[in-house]
Amino acid sequence: MYYYLTIGPFEILLRIGIVLATSIIFGIVFLTYLRFRNRKMLLISAGFGTHVLYALITLPEIYNQGIHIDENLHLLIHLIALVFILLGILED
């Protein structure tokens, strides 16, 4: 059975670029956590790590159109990541 891509080449490049950019930001934040070892950076790292995992999970949608994540699950993952980042920012 053949799957025909309904995703254009621009969206493929955009998704790969988002994964790379998010991974670089997560790497910088995680290295900062390793340097300072405080709870604030741990929470921020967890938030960006959640975004990286989300980006990696949605990457197979490019070549396998049978894999789809519900819109509510998309929003829940983003909400969890943003709550981690917010808690890290508000931590004193």
Report yes or no on 76 lying in a domain. Answer: yes
Q: What is the pLDDT of residue 36?
A: 94
Per-residue pLDDT 10s for the chain (92 aa) are: 555 666 788 888 998 999 999 999 999 999 999 999 999 999 999 999 999 999 888 887 777 666 678 889 989 999 999 999 999 999 87
- Cα distances from 10 to residues 13, 16, 24, 90, in angstroms, run 5, 10, 21, 37
Report yes or no on 38 lying in a domain. Answer: yes
Report yes or no on 1 lying in a domain. Answer: no
Count up the domains in the chain and report the number.
1
Three-state SS string across the chain, please? CCCCCCCCHHHHHHHHHHHHHHHHHHHHHHHHHHHHCCHHHHHHHHHHHHHHHHHHHHHHHHCCCCCCCCHHHHHHHHHHHHHHHHHHHHCC
Q: Which domain holds residue 41?
A: 9-90
What is the rounded CA–CA span in Å between residue 61 and residue 50?
A: 18
Q: What is the pLDDT of residue 60?
A: 77
Report yes or no on 4 lying in a domain. Answer: no
Report yes or no on 2 lying in a domain. Answer: no
Q: Kindly report the pTM of this predicted structure.
A: 0.82
Q: What is the pLDDT of residue 9?
A: 84
Report yes or no on 3 lying in a domain. Answer: no
- Cα distances from 34 to residues 11, 38, 76, in angstroms, run 34, 9, 28
